[in-house]
């Protein structure tokens, strides 16, 4: 807009110069601009006047300042002193363009400063406004139903945020209350089940040792004894899964895995010898920062699995190296379904277990961020835990 206004202003000045040329021609003279004016007037004789007028931009050599400058010119045809002439008036735009640059700077600098100020104020205001909301998000992220520390309310500046904070307080309290009730129910139910199961097992032991039972009664009692033993194991496994699911086993320490595996071999040695199973060991000295209790359960279940599902005179291979441990065993069955093997209560038809052993392994690995994999190779069932 400034350039457009400048061109219109110069065009108006050029018209005035043409009027000066006409006035001077009446007196019989040719008009010449003063030296201090950035103007050039040129005259060229022509055959006849065609009455055409042209305005345009150009680049010309300023003889006064001895340099090339941008300019605006007016070209027209006039009758001067009785002869037709083509008159070209050129006016320099240099000074006015410099004025436009100065005007633009005068406008832009305050605008940029104002823009920077607005950004700064906006940033401060947004930080002040959204800081409580960020604190709200942090409280949601750090909220843990396993801790006694309750959800902390936040002083919110807006009514909508206050309602959100109130809803979150009520929701967290409800979740914590429900979780506590379920946890207590699970623990109490498990504890209450263990007492009658222990009584039943004790009575069955006494009856099995009695000499007054017939053959059929003895077989029936043996079946009952097996059923109650399975029920006891199932109860213990479910309670363990609940504890793992709710992250109740959180102790962290440096555990020497090699020593733990060697201790477990001694612990299971009687079962291994009874079934005449050969054990091939390759153990490196590996130390992990983990929950000792969870690692104990993990190694126990791996040993139980490779012994229980092996046959008499079979083989077990245990390999501990930096970053992973592998348990491999011979077995009665071929390859298991790798997609379902770690599901709860999934087991082979010939298995007498609860179907929770491998599920517990998987859950422990998930909690500890380990990778548990199953493969079948060279008639061996291979379970690999990558730390």
For 36-52, the pLDDT digits (tens) are 567 888 888 888 887 77
At 251, is the pLDDT very low, low, confident or very high (cuts 50, 70, 90)? low
Q: Are residues 381 and 259 in the same domain?
A: yes
- Say how far residue 296 (Cα) sits from the centre of its chain: 33
Q: Is residue 100 part of a domain?
A: no
Nearest CA to 168 among 184, 182, 156, 181? 156
Query: Does residue 348 share a domain with residue 282?
Result: yes
Residue 239 sits in the same domain as residue 271? no
Residue 115 domain flag: no
- pLDDT, tens digit, for every residue of 69-119? 888 888 888 888 778 888 888 888 887 888 888 888 899 999 999 999 999
Same domain, 198 and 238: yes
Is residue 225 located within the same domain as residue 263?
A: no
- CATH number (domain holding residue 307): 3.30.565.10
Look at 243 and 125; give whichever has higher pLDDT.
125
Asked whether residue 145 is assigned to any structural domain, the reply reads: no
Q: How far apart are CA 374 and CA 244, in angstroms?
A: 21
Same structural domain for residues 346 and 257?
Answer: yes
Alpha-carbon gap, residue 117 to 111, rounded angstroms: 10
Looking at the structure, do residues 280 and 188 belong to the same domain, yes or no?
A: no
Mean predicted confidence (pLDDT) in 269-281: 88
First vs last C-alpha separation in the chain: 71
More confident residue, 228 or 309: 309
145-202 pLDDT per residue, tens: 766 666 777 777 778 778 888 888 888 888 878 777 777 776 666 666 666 767 777 7
Instruction: Please give the pLDDT value at position 140.
Output: 80
CA distance 182 to 44: 107
Q: Nearest Cα to 89, choosing from 30, 15, 35?
A: 15
Decide which of 3 and 341 is more confident: 3
Q: Domain end: 57, 72, 92, which one?
A: 92
- Are the CB atoms for 235 and 197 separated by under 8 Å? yes
Supply the pLDDT for residue 350: 52
Could you tell me the two tokens for 236? 């213990």
Classified as helix, coil or strand, 285 is: coil
The residue segments making up the domain with residue 31 are 2-92
Among residues 245, 270, 305, the one where a domain terminates is 245
> Is the pTM here over 0.75, yes or no?
no
How far apart are alpha carbons 274 and 308 in whole angstroms? Answer: 12
pLDDT at 230 over 70: no
Instruction: Decide if 316 is inside a domain.
Output: yes
pLDDT score of 284 more than 70? yes
211 and 301 in a single domain? The answer is no
Q: How many domains does the chain have?
A: 3
Looking at the predicted structure, is the pLDDT value of residue 296 above 90?
Answer: no
Is 152 among the domain residues? no
Q: Which of 92, 122, 144 is the last residue of a domain?
A: 92
| Alpha carbons 122 and 116: distance in angstroms, whole number | 10
Q: Please tell me the distance from the alpha carbon of residue 225 to that of residue 236, in angstroms, as a whole number.
A: 17
Which pLDDT belongs to residue 147? 67
Indicate if 192 and 304 belong to the same structural domain.
no
**Distant-in-sequence, close-in-space partners of 63: CB < 8 Å, separation ≥ 6:** 40
Task: Please report which residue ranges of the chain form alpha helices under DSSP H.
Answer: 2-26, 94-142, 159-208, 215-245, 257-267, 269-274, 292-308, 357-367
**CA–CA gap between residue 91 and residue 11 (Å, rounded):** 9
Q: What is the average pLDDT across 203-209?
A: 72
Q: Are residues 88 and 19 in the same domain?
A: yes
* Interior angle at CA 59, CA 57 and CA 62, nearest 5: 125
Domain annotation covers residue 271: yes
Computed from CA positions of residues 306, 311, 312, 315, in that sequence, does the dihedral angle turn out positive or negative?
negative
Please tell me the predicted confidence (pLDDT) of residue 378.
Answer: 80
Write down the mean pLDDT value for the chain.
80
Closest CA to 362 of 285, 305, 288: 305
Is 133 inside a domain boundary? Answer: no
Residues 284 and 358 in one domain: yes
Q: What is the 3-state secondary structure (H, E, C) of 333-345?
A: CCCCCCCCCCCCC
Q: Is 106 a domain residue?
A: no
Q: Does 183 share its domain with 307?
A: no
């Amino acid at each position: 807009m400034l350039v457009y206004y400048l061109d219109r202003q110069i065009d108006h000045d050029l018209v005035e110069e043409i009027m000066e040329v006409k006035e001077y021609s009446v007196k019989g003279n040719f008009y010449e601009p003063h030296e201090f004016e950035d103007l050039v007037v040129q005259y060229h004789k022509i055959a006849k006047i065609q009455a055409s007028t042209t305005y345009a931009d150009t680049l010309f050599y300023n003889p006064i300042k001895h340099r090339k400058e941008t300019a605006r010119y007016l070209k027209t045809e006039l009758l001067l002193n009785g002869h037709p002439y083509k008159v070209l008036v050129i006016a320099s735009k240099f000074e006015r363009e410099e004025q436009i640059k100065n005007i633009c700077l005068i406008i832009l600098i305050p605008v940029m400063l104002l823009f920077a100020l607005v950004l700064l104020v906006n940033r401060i205001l947004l930080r002040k406004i959204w800081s409580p909301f960020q604190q709200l998000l942090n409280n949601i992220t750090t909220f843990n139903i396993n801790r006694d520390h309750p959800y902390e309310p936040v002083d919110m500046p807006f009514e909508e945020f206050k309602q959100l904070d109130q809803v979150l307080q009520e929701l967290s309290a409800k979740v914590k209350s429900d979780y506590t009730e379920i946890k207590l129910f699970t623990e109490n139910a498990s504890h209450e089940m263990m007492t009658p199961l222990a009584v039943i097992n004790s009575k069955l032991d006494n009856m099995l040792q009695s000499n007054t039972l017939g053959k059929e009664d003895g077989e029936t009692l043996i079946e009952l004894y097996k059923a109650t033993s399975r029920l006891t194991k199932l109860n213990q496994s479910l309670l363990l899964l609940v504890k793992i699911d709710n992250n109740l086993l959180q102790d962290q320490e440096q555990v020497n895995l090699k020593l733990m595996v060697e201790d477990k071999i001694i612990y299971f040695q009687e079962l291994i010898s009874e079934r005449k199973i050969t054990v091939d060991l390759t153990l490196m000295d590996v130390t992990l920062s983990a929950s000792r209790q969870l690692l104990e359960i993990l190694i126990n279940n791996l040993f139980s699995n490779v012994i229980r599902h092996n046959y008499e005179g079979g083989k077990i291979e245990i390999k501990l190296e930096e970053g992973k441990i592998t348990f491999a065993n011979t077995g009665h069955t071929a390859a298991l379904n790798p997609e379902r093997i770690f599901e709860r209560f999934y087991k082979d038809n010939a298995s007498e277990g609860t179907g929770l052993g491998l599920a517990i392994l998987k859950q422990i690995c998930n909690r500890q961020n380990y990778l548990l994999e199953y493969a079948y190779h060279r008639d061996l069932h291979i379970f690999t835990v990558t730390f």
